[in-house]
Amino acid sequence: EPFVADEYIERLAWRTPGGGSRGGEAFDPKRLLEEFVNHIQELQVMDERIQRKVEKLEQQCQKEAKEFAKKVQELQKSNQVAFQHFQELDEHISYVATKVCHLGDQLEGVNTPRQRAVEAQKLMKYFNEFLDGELKSDVFTNSEKIKEAADIIQKLHLIAQELPFDRFSEVKSKIASKYHDLECQLIQEFTSAQRRGEISRMREVAAVLLHFKGYSHCVDVYIKQCQEGAFLRNDVFEDAAILCQRVNKQVGEVFSNPETVLAKLIQNIFEVKLQSYVKDQLEEHRKSDAEQYLKNLYDLYTRTTNLSSKLMEFNLGTDKQTFLSKLIKSIFISYLENYIEVEIGYLKSRSAMILQRYYDSKNHQKRSIGTGGIQDLKERIRQRTNLPLGPSIDTHGETFLSQEVVVNLLQETKQAFERCHRLSDPSDLPKNAFRIFAMLVEFLCTEHIDYALETGLAGIPSSDSKNANLYFLDVVHQANTIFHLFDKQFNDHLMPLISSSPKLSECLQKKKDIIEQMEVKLDMGID
């Protein structure tokens, strides 16, 4: 605790007999003074003793400081000496290293020709064995040294090609035969390793075969075995995607050019598996069932392009987009060339059947209607009196307009537009879309709505008739509703296909003409 003089003296007085008033004890100042004097003397003695101790410690500290400073100076000197020795050693090491490098270059300059000479000597020795017709070397007789034998025979094969045929024909044929045998053995070894799933052995054998002519055959064997048991389900496209995903992980561990091998596998899948599958699915209905044929064509082409999109994730070389597009084109080109003709033919027969089925359900025999132009109709409207509407026909209140028929026609056309968008070449898309639109105009607008308007006009009583009816207003109402559906399909499904082509103005003009023609007849009937 901090030293407080007052408290210290107070405690000293309390401890001294007669120094206080404890227990009624009398106060004795002399005794207290004597105690204080004695205590002061004790403190002075203690102070002197401590002071001597302090002086002794200070002297010792100064002595040790001088010794430490002297030691530091000695260490600095020894450090400088060590650093100087280190510099000298470093220079010496650099000098020796330079000499060693120079010596190494000289040794390499001598050793490289020597190694070549030794290798040439070995090759000459092996060549002599082929020349003598008896292979004695362990490298050719020991099946475990097939890798070394392959390296030797590959070099001998290259040398043999440079030799004149007339003098070395026999030895050249022997080397070629051994070359072929080793190549077959390596391919067989690769096949076995693949069946056992030994990736490291496959990689080792593939590296040896890389310098042989049969390397491509090794790749073919790999591709063939990869596909064994891969196409067991009904969905060949999903199987192909799973197979490529699995091979993509493995091919980099086996081959030095994985992107080429994977591209070759994909090409094989497209040209063999997918092509035969597509052919089986389409040829079955090509002649007999146009509807099923078009549905299958659209579905197969869509699934093939979806598979192509999945395969774009893999490394297939520089221009994988073009590569995959060519594969798809090779499968479907024979079907896409005449696609639009099949589409138009089917749409025409289907639309005609839908209309005929409707009229048959009404027990109605379609009659031929006048083909006068718009100008003729306008002229008839201007002559508002005595409208030459022709002989009146009793329609029994039937409008001959059907929402169901319209929905069926629009649905067929919508599907045709979707197929057209997917299956048409981009350059032919606007033209093909316009042809489908023309079919819709013919069967929906002309054969159905226009026919109903003409029939409705013919059913309006003459001006001198006493029987009045508002039947034509029902025709107007239904025709208006139907045309709104027609206009919606025009905007939703046709416009995106032709919006950036010259066919846009042609379609808009055709729609405008058909609107104007119908409005003229509606106005005429209402008048």
Contact 300, 281 (CB under 8 A): yes
**28 contacts: CB under 8 Å, gap ≥ 6:** 17, 18, 19
Nearest to 486 by CA among 362, 403, 374, 369: 403
- The distance between the two most distant Cα atoms of the chain, rounded to a whole number of Å, is 164
Nearest to 456 by CA among 393, 380, 371: 393
pLDDT, position 230: 77
Q: Tell me phi and psi for residue 502, to 5 degrees.
A: -60, -20
Output b/e per residue, 216-228; b: 16+ Cβ within 10 A.
eebbebbbeebbe
DSSP letters for 301-353:
HHHHHHHHHHHTTS---S-HHHHHHHHHHHHHHHHHTTHHHHHHHHHHHHHHH
Contact 262, 244 (CB under 8 A): yes
pLDDT, position 33: 86
Other CB atoms within 10 Å distance of the CB of residue 255: 22
Q: In 362-387, where does DSSP find H-type helix?
A: 374-382
* Dihedral sign, Cα of residue 366, residue 372, residue 378, residue 379: negative
Indicate the pTM of the whole model.
0.66
Q: Which residues of the chain have pLDDT under 50?
A: 23, 371, 374, 378, 381-391
DSSP letters for 102-151:
HHHHHHHHHHHHHHHHHHHHHHHHHHHHHHHT----HHHH-GGGHHHHHH
pLDDT, position 81: 93
pLDDT, position 122: 67
Contact 155, 182 (CB under 8 A): no
pLDDT, position 441: 92
Distance CA 455, CA 389 (A): 10
Distance CA 119, CA 297 (A): 63
- Fill in the DSSP letter of residue 383: S
How is the chain split into domains, by residue range?
35-129, 137-228, 252-367, 398-460+471-526
pLDDT, position 416: 94
- Give per-residue pLDDT as tens, 146-176: 666 676 667 766 777 667 666 667 667 777 7
- Fill in the DSSP letter of residue 234: S
pLDDT, position 394: 54
